[in-house]
Structure 1
C-alpha cells in the first residue's frame, strides 16, 4: 500500500533534472552496469544477528530484502544516506526495492521529462554493496497516485494511440535504463476499485477504453523489453477476514489476465498484516486461515508464483506494554509466515517494507495509528535499531523451511 509519498517530497522530486545512470566498474553514462547477484553471507555489523535473514532465506533459494529510500542531505531517514540503517540492510538483506523513487510521481514531473536521480542513487548504492534490486512500480493504477498532470492529461484526437504511446514510452524508458540490473518488476500495482469490484478507472483507462486494456499493455510492453524478467501484479490483500472480498476481486483479475494471455508471472502479496481487533482464542488478530489457503490454492493453481513484497504488521489493537506488544506482533507474523511457507514450492522472494519502526510508512497511515499515540511496532527492528522478537520469529520460520 506504501502511501507515505508526500506532496512536499513530490514537489521536490519534480524540480530535479534527470541525470545519467553511472554504473560501477567504470560504465559510461547511458551504459547499463553489469548485472549483480546476491552477496555471500558475511559477518554483520554490531547489533545485527548473524546469519542474517537473507543468508537464511538463500538456503531455500530465496532472497530476503527490504524497501529503502534515497534522501540526499538527510542522514536520519530510512535511506541509503543513513549509516545505521544501511548497516541493518547490509546485514539482513540480499535485495532492496525503492520505496517511492520509481513511482510515476517521482520519475515523471511532466509528460516530457524524467528525474532518475534518486532511483539511480539507490541502484549505485546497491551495486556497491552487492545487493540485488527489484522494480516498484511501472504503473500504480490509481488516480490518487498518478502525478497530477496525468489525471488531467489531454489525450488529443486519437486518445487510444496517445495513451498507448505514453504508457509504452514510460515502461520502455525505465526498463531499458535498468536492463541487466532489475529482473523482477511490480509491473502493475493495486488496480482494483473495491466499490465496483472491478479494475479501477483512470484517465489512461478512459482514453484506452478499459482498465484491462491498460493493464494488458503494461505487461506486454514489459515482456517485450524483458523477455526473461519476472513480471508481477502487486496488491495488498492478506489473510484477515476483512480482506476476503478483496481476495475475490484479485482472483477475478488474475483469472482475466490468464484468459487473455497477459504475461504475468507472479502475484506480489504486500502482506501489510493487521491486528485491528483481538481474537480471544488466540490472543492475536483474527485471521481466516482456511479461506486464505483457498485463495493461495486458486492463485498457484492458475500457475502464478508468489512473492511477499511489502511485509509489516499493524499493531493497533495490542496493549501499550512494549514487551507484550512485541511478542504478540511476533506471534501473529510467525503464524502468517508459517502458512506462506507451506507454499514454499511456489514462493519466491520475501521483502519487508522497511526494517526500522521509525521509518515505516505505518507511522503516518491513519488507519494504523494507535489510540494511545505510541509508535506502530511493526518492523523487525525498533527505532533504536535493535532487533525485536519479530526479527527472531522471521528467522525461525525461514530456518525451519530450509
Structure 2
C-alpha cells in the first residue's frame, strides 16, 4: 500500500518555524476539557499509559525543519518510510547500502526516539533480481538479506516488520517469489532468521485491511495461532490502518484483542484517514472521531503497545499519489496546524487512566494449564518486579515481567532470578540480559530505565523448557 519514494514528488506545504508549530499544538492541547496537568504532547500522554505514539519519516523529510521539529516534539517512535526496504538496502545481490536507514536511526537516537524497522521481506519494492532467481536459491538469499540487515541494526531497532503484507484479501497467502520457493513455511524461516540476527528485537507480521474481523484477518489469525504453537519467534501483529474517513471497522478492538489473547503484542503501525477532497469541516470532525476511536481501541487492549501515524502532516503524505482525489489524512494540515484529529487523539490519551499494558490471558496451544504469576511483592524499596507466564507450548513458553518503581523515581533497574529446572531464554525484548548458569540478570534498555514514582514498564521473553515462574527481585542504583 506504500509506493516507493513518495516523499520525492510531494507538495512541500508551507514551512513554519518550530516555535509556531509547538505553540499551536500546545494551544490546542491546553484548550481541551482534560484532567488537571494533562500532557500536552502525544508522546508524553502515550508514555504515561505505557505506550508509544510514533510517526514515519523518509530521508527527504529530514531536510524539512518544521516537519522534523514537529515530529520530535510529538512522537517517540520513528518508522523509516522506504529506507530499510529491500530495494534500498540490497539493490543488487550481495551489495548492501544502509546509509539512508542510518540517517533515520541517527535522527531518532538524537531525539530520544525508538525505531521500528520496516521491513525485511515484502513482495513490493523488491529488486527484480530477487524475483528472477531460480527458486532453489531464494531461501538462501532471503536468509542472507535478513541476517545482514538485522545484524547491521542490532540493538538499534525496537521491533521489525519481518514480513510485510503477506495476505490476499480472501485470506490466502500471496503467491510471491518467497511463497513459490518455500511455501507457507517462508514466514517461519524469516522470523527465525531475524531472531537469530537480533534476539532482542520484537518481530512482527504487518498487513493492511486486517483491522476488522474478515477473511483476511482470519487467515492471519490462523497463521499466528500455528506459529505460536510451534514456538516460532513471532512477537506481534501490525495493523497498518490506512482508513477512509468514517469507515473505522466496528470490530477493530475485538480483532486486536483476539490476537493479543494468543500472547502477541499488537500495534497500529501506519495510521492515516483519507478524505475525498476538498475536505469540509464535517469531514474533519469525523476524522477526529475516527482518530479517537483508534486510540481508544488501542488503550482498551492491554497488549496494544502503541500507535504510529504514517507521516506527520498533510503536506507530506503518500495518499494523493496513490489514491487520486483523496488527501488530508494526517493530524496536522499542510501548514503544520493541528486538526480535530490531533485534538481527539490527545484527548483520548489524556482521558484514560495512567496504566501500563499488562498481559492478557493466553490461549494455550496445548492442554497445559495456565501458570500462576509469581506473588506481587509490596513496593517498599526502589523497585519491584512481577513475572507472569502469558503463553506455553510443548518445550517452551513466553513470559512478561512488570517492573514498578516504589515511592521514589528510579533511574535504571536490574531484575534477577534463578531458573528451577534448566530453562533457557531464547529471545528477550525491552531489556538486556546476562546469564551465569541458571541465574539470569536483566537490565533496562536505553529507553525504559527511568520510571516515575509508582510507574511501571515491562520486558518479555520466550524460553525453552517447562513454563516456570521463579521468584524475581528488582534493584535500582
Report the TM-score, using the length of structure 1 for normalisation: 0.77
Q: CA deviation at 1:400?
A: 1.7
Cα distance in 2, alignment partners of residues 171 and 347 from structure 1:
26
Aligned equivalents of 2:21, 2:249: Cα separation in 1: 37
| Distance change (3 Å), C-alpha of 1:87 and 1:8 | closer
Deviation track 1:233-277 (CA, whole Å, cap 9, x = no partner) reads 11112556xx722222221222232233221111111111223xx
Which residue matches 2:371?
none
1:174 aligned partner: 149
Report the Cα distance in structure 2 between the residues aligned to 1:44 and 1:320, rounded to whole angstroms. Answer: 24
Which residue number corresponds to residue 3 of structure 1?
Answer: 3
2:201 to 229, 253, 258: 229
- Describe how 1:316-327 pairs up with structure 2 within 5 A: 316=276, 320-327=278-285
Q: What is the match of residue 300 of structure 1?
A: 260
Whole-angstrom distance in 2 between the partners of 1:253 and 1:115: 33
**Cα contact 1:4–1:364 (8 A) shared by 2:** no
Q: Do 1:189 and 1:233's aligned partners in 2 also have CA atoms closer than 8 Å?
A: yes
What per-residue deviation string (whole Å, max 9, x for no partner) do you get for residues 45-92 of structure 1?
443326211011110111211000002xxxxxxx11110101110110
CA distance in 2, matches of 1:203, 1:381: 39
Task: State the shift of 1:359 in Å.
Answer: 1.3
Correspondent of 2:314 among 343, 350, 357: 357
Instruction: Tell me which of 101, 107, 110 is aligned to 2:89.
Output: 107
Report the Cα distance in structure 2 between the residues aligned to 1:106 and 1:169, rounded to whole angstroms. 16
Give the TM-score taking structure 2 as reference length: 0.65
Higher helix share: 1
Q: Distance in 1 between matches of 2:313 and 2:285?
A: 17
- Any gaps of 5 or more consecutive residues in structure 2? 10-19, 30-39, 355-477
Query: In the TM superposition, what are the counterparts of 1:78-157 in structure 2 within 5 Å?
Result: 79-140=61-122, 142=123, 144-155=124-135
Matches within 5 A, 1:227-376: 227-239=199-211, 244-275=214-245, 284-285=246-247, 287-289=248-250, 291-316=251-276, 320-343=278-301, 345-366=302-323, 369-370=324-325, 376=327
Residue of 39, 43, 46 corresponding to 1:57: 46
Partners of 1:109 and 1:327 in 2: CA distance = 43
Structure number with larger C-alpha Rg: 2
Shift of 1:333: 2.0
Structure 1 residues not aligned, in runs of 5+: 10-42, 72-78, 276-283
Deviation, 1:44, is 7.7
Match of 1:165 in 2: 140
Cα distance, 1:164 vs structure 2: 2.7
- Structure (1 or 2) with the greater strand fraction: 2
**Aligned partner of residue 101 in structure 2, secondary structure:** helix
